[in-house]
Amino acid sequence: MPELPTGSTAPPAPPLSPAPATPPTPPIPLTGLLAREELGLRRIAGPAEAELLWVHTSEMADPYPYLLGGELLLSAGVLLTDPDTYVSRLVEAGAAALGFGVRPVHDTVPEELIAACERYGLPLIEVPPETPFTAIARAVWQLMAQARVRELRRVTRAQQALATAAARTDPVPAVLHQLAAQLEGRAVLLTADGEELHAAGRTPAPDVRAALARLSRVVAPVVRPAPASATDTLGTTHLAAYALGGGQGLVLTLAAERREAGDHTIAGVAVVLLSLLAAPHQGADAAGRSAALVRLLLGADPAAVAPLLGGAERWTVVHARRGGGDPVDPLTAGALGAALGSALVDAGRSGAAVRVLVPGEDRITPQPGWTLGASAPAAITALDTADAQAARALGRAEATRTPLAHHRTDTGRGLAALVPREAARAHARTLLAPLTEPLAETLRCWLSLHGSWDRTATALRVHRNTVRQRIGRCAVLLGADLDDMDVRTELWFALRQG
């Protein structure tokens, strides 16, 4: 028997029980522990089926605050005064079973405790006097170690089976079939739009299929930022969805009646294999984009080829540079495009900004290790304007040392809204006529950064003396005093019309 404490007062229970932690090994069935004859354990109340995650010994009157859930709690009943409350608190804390040691405190298991365990559905195990609690704990850990070995062997066999399936002439259906067999469930490969490409395993009920479709949208690339995987349950059915890598826009969904510790690892192997095997799907998309670019070069209407680029009505242009000026290779640029949800990426020449054409109007989010400038959403026929907006936004982000800057779209509000658009543009063309485009862009950037020579030089990637020379040239050509706030305001208004 365990050493008995002198007694203590239990602290008050917290208002909410913490979420159970995940053990490093698979759970073991209570029946497996009861089968160890050397322990002499006997179930005297509650259901026969239970899964054990931990072993914990406590003689507190209320061990609720110290339970994680799934424990076999061992006690000799030193402070047991109210069996009904005691058992109800154990069930509330998520304990899997109660092991009660007889002698020296109690000669037999109290009848009130047996009745309470039956009433609340908590398995009650009688521990004989000759069995130390430490022997029970050691037996549980041994059973868990054996379960871990079995699970590792199962995962290894599944990996080998999936690899063999990937080498067949029809690898994608073969991998899905093997995955469904290993998990004893349903495996489906979907497009980002929810179209079913391949499926294997038992056909689920309509409500399960609907739940899988909803879960697939959680990880679909059209949702930015999107998690790589997601899980859910519907009744007794376990659901999972995984986004395939490589930017293919494909999702693997799974439905099974059981979920074991190694299932996520097995599914992960399948995701890697399917990502590689689905390369033709990515190639087809790339061919469509190439066809669109060829048609544009041959003079096609941009709106006519837009469906080949993804079919979006509005697009956002993003300019990006690596933090610290690190060089960018095509793979790194492609990874940025995938993070932003687009395969339309121009890595550019050395030192130039990476440009990404992102479909839709979702607001761009910062990306670790990158400085970004994003345009306002634009139609396919106005991408040149959006490209200039993104370039200016990137310059402002670099000058102000912020990870992301969006194009300012407040031109039509405030006092500017009082002037007719065409009249404002005509005035701007007349006022800025003496300036070349490089001079006008330098003046625009300098004014936007409140006349800072250093930040303007950073934004334009030129020397600060070059900025001074260009601004001086602007002053001469415009015949204006650029230190005058009225002059600056009028010029800023004109430059914002472009």
Q: For residue range 1-22, what is the model confidence (pLDDT) as tens digits? A: 443 443 433 344 333 333 444 4
pLDDT tens digits for 67-106? 989 999 999 999 999 999 999 999 999 999 999 999 888 9
Rg, Å, the chain Cα set: 34
Q: How far apart (Å, rounded) are the C-alpha atoms in residues 437 and 488?
A: 18
pLDDT digits over 303-324, tens only? 777 777 766 778 899 999 887 6
Of 101, 104, 92, the C-alpha closest to 64 is: 92
Q: Name residue 376's amino acid.
A: A
Three-class secondary structure of residue 288 per DSSP: helix
Q: Answer whether residue 285 shows pLDDT above 60.
A: no
Q: Which of 31-35, 129-133, 485-489, 494-498 has the lowest mean pLDDT?
A: 494-498
Please list the alpha-helical segments (H only) found in 132-205: 133-166, 171-183
Q: At 290, is the pLDDT very low, low, confident or very high (cuts 50, 70, 90)?
A: low
When pLDDT is averaged across residues 363-377 and rounded to a whole number, the result is 87
- pLDDT at residue 129 tops 80: yes
* Residue given tokens 């001074």 in the structure block: 468
pLDDT at 19: 40
What percent of the chain stands above pLDDT 70? 82
Pick the most confident of 116-120, 326-330, 377-381.
116-120
d(CA 312, CA 299): 20
Q: Up-side HSE of residue 335: CA atoms within 13 Å toward CB?
A: 9
pLDDT of residue 28: 86
What is 414-495's CATH topology? Answer: Arc Repressor Mutant, subunit A (1.10.10)
Integer Cα distance of 424 and 440 in angstroms = 17
Structure tokens at 355: 């440009």
- Predicted pLDDT of residue 117: 94
CB 254 within 8 A of CB 189: no
Domain ranges for the chain: 28-142, 167-277, 312-406, 414-495
Cα angle vertex 142, ends 267, 61, to 5°? 100
3-state class of 353 per DSSP? Answer: coil
- Average pLDDT over every residue of 34-49: 92
Residue 175, pLDDT > 60, answer yes
- pLDDT of residue 241 exceeding 50, the answer is yes
Contact at 8 Å (CB) between 140 and 151? no
Q: How far is CA 306 from the centre of its chain?
A: 30
Write the pLDDT tens digit of every residue in 397-441: 887 788 888 887 654 555 555 566 677 777 778 878 888 888 888
Least confident of 36-40, 130-134, 161-165, 245-249: 245-249
Q: Which CATH architecture has domain 28-142?
A: 3-Layer(aba) Sandwich (3.40)
| Equal fold, 167-277 vs 414-495 | no
Per residue in 181-198, pLDDT (tens digit) is 998 999 988 877 777 878
For the chain, give the number of residues.
Answer: 498
Residue 471: pLDDT over 80: yes
Average pLDDT of the chain to the nearest whole number:
81
* Residue range 167-277 in CATH 1.10.10.60: no
Task: Look at residue 254 and tell me whether its pLDDT is greater than 80.
Answer: yes
Token pair recorded at residue 252: 């693997």
Long-range contacts of 129-132 (CB under 8 A, 24+ apart): 129/1, 129/101, 129/102, 129/103, 130/40, 131/39, 131/40, 131/41, 131/101, 132/1, 132/2
